Structure 1
Amino acid sequence: MKIKYLAACLPLVFAAGAAQADAPSFEQVSEILQKNACLACHQVETKVVGPAYREVAEKYKGDPANAELLAKHIKEGSQGVWGAVPMPPNVAVTDDDLNLVVDWLMAGAPN
């Protein structure tokens, strides 16, 4: 009986691994982050003015609906989410770049 459950779960395990393998790397998003001045307030592992990207990834992991919320916060800005300092809107970031950064965050902000 246990083997049936294990066999049923294997496709999910492989799918999760494939999704992680397809996650953008920091190298892929670093140019976007530099071009849009994101790194002035955020670093991958260290809080600067805003939270570290790994903190953001940890807070929003596990719920795919959070990708839309992250995109909204990046594009429109936010206030009160991480404290008193507001995040300004990033209206110049393209939708393709925005999606890549959000995918990277949702994957845990991997190196």
Structure 2
Amino acid sequence: MKHHYLTIALISACLTSPMAMADAKKDADMLKLASTSGCMTCHGIEAGKPGPDGMKPIGPAWVEVAKQYKGKPGASEFLTRVVLEGSNPYSSHWKGKVSGLSMPPNAVAITEGNARLLVNWILAL
């Protein structure tokens, strides 16, 4: 029984540690940035969420993006460019998985620095 109390105490300590609270604040900050930049119009965090009218989602879920680019060199730089400049509808590897044809350029909605922060956060999901 003591073991269960120790486990609960350790979990509680981890959840209330400054590091966990810092991560929660970063998550909240990144979600706010994504919302104010219009990202959440097409993207969600979790896979399996339907898009408008029950269709496929407009853009890929960020956990899917993180999985697709995990461990790939240059992923952060590439995705930051995609966010700012848009993507090519003819070479999309999301074809058939999403209802959107391509990512529109977003340089008017988000700065390069903020796009890089958001992309790095997404890749860490």
Q: TM-score, normalised by structure 2?
A: 0.61
- Structure 2: gaps spanning 5 or more residues: 1-21, 50-56
Task: Tell me, yes or no, if structure 1 residue 106 matches structure 2 residue 106.
Answer: no
Structure 1 runs not aligned, ≥5 long: 1-21
Helix, strand or coil for the counterpart of 2:84? helix
Q: Does 1:85 align with 2:101?
A: yes
Counterpart of 1:60 in structure 2: which amino acid? Answer: Y
Distance 2:26 2:120 in 1: 10
User: Equivalent residue for 1:40?
Assistant: 41
Cα–Cα, structure 1 residues 59 and 106, in superposed 2: closer, same or farther, change >3 Å? same
RMSD after superposition? 2.1
Structure showing greater radius of gyration is: 2
The alpha-carbon deviation at position 26 of structure 1 amounts to 2.7
1:5-26 CA distances to partner (integer Å, 9 max, x unpaired)? xxxxxxxxxxxxxxxxx97843
Higher relative contact order (CA 8 A, sep 6+): 1
1:86 is displaced (CA, Å) by 1.2
> Which secondary structure does the structure 1 equivalent of 2:103 belong to?
coil
Shifted more, 48-57 versus 75-84: the winner is 75-84
Pair 86,67 (structure 1): closer, same or farther in 2 beyond 3 Å:
same
Q: Indicate the percent of aligned positions where both proteins have the same amino acid.
A: 34
| Match of residue 74, structure 2, among 54, 60, 65 | 65
Partner residue, 1:11: none
Q: Output the amino acid matched with 2:106.
A: N
